[in-house]
Amino acid sequence: MTRNLLLIAGLAVLVAGGALFYMSRERATPVAAGVAPAAEAPADQTADGSGETDAGPVDTSRVIEMALGNPDAPVTIVEYSSFTCPHCATFNQGVFRQIMENYVDTGQVHFIKREVFFDAYGLWAALVARCGGPERYHGIVEMLYQDQRRWAGSNDGAEVAENLRRIGRRAGLDNDQLDACLADRDMATALMEVYRANAERYGIRSTPSFVINGQLHGNMSFADFQAAIASAAGE
């Protein structure tokens, strides 16, 4: 697992470096990359990953939980998804909205979103999604999944980077903010470390995956979620 994540991180930096070179010639603004996810803490706390690299411990204190709903709800659902995963996009545009309407908005479920990184583009997308903080995160996530085929459908790193920047600008971020976030390698490394820790802790091997009150589930229909939520709540 650790070796695979390091390879992804290295690929992210290499591809982003190419995008940076290309875009700096066009507009003299930096574009870079990184990768990583979050752990089991309340919405206003940081993830608790605590791994080390060859350079020493990884500081994950900036990787905050992106949560929705009542933190005191009897059921907590943690979604593990990749921004480049088509099944994750389908879930977020369908079943997720039903869960929000029926359980999160009614205070019965606390819902946490955590990123999974299988490729460099997914990491770049996470850096853009988190660029505006918790206030903009969920709106940017919705745009990323809604426009997934358009922004992620190129083999050209520079084109993908600019597509992501375009989504960020639509969310109200400016070029300087986006450049700083895409070039934030410390954040990318922290995200990767938190993902590694969570993947090992919960056995995350595919996306989307869900941990409901500590129990791992695969992708499900809304009816199956209803049954799982009822069981977790002791009904």
Tokens of 142: 């919705």
Give me the domain span that covers residue 176: 2-35+66-232
What is the torsion angle, in degrees rounded to the nearest 10, for the CA atoms of residue 190, residue 193, residue 195 and residue 198? Answer: -130
Residue 42: inside a domain: no
Q: What is the pLDDT of residues 87-115, one digit of tens each?
A: 999 999 999 999 999 999 999 999 999 99
Average pLDDT over residues 74-88: 97
What is the torsion angle, in degrees rounded to the nearest 10, for the CA atoms of residue 96, residue 98, residue 99 and residue 105? Answer: 120
14-32 as b/e: b if 16+ CB within 10 A = ebbeebbebbeeeeeebbb
* CATH code, 156: 3.40.30.10
* Domains held by the chain: number: 1
Average pLDDT over residues 195-213: 95
Residue 12: inside a domain: yes
Longest dimension (CA), the chain: 60
Residue 10: inside a domain: yes
- Give pLDDT, residue 39: 32
Confidence of residue 44 (pLDDT cuts 50, 70, 90): very low
Q: What separation in angstroms does the CA of 46 have from each of 39, 65, 67, 146, 189?
A: 8, 6, 11, 27, 15
Residue 16: inside a domain: yes
Residue 17: inside a domain: yes
70 vs 51 pLDDT, higher one: 70
Report the chain's mean pLDDT, rounded to a whole number: 82
Residue 176: inside a domain: yes
Residue 44: inside a domain: no
Average pLDDT over residues 18-46: 34
Q: How many CB atoms lie within 10 A of CB 10?
A: 12
Judge whether residue 51 has pLDDT over 80: no
Residue 195: inside a domain: yes
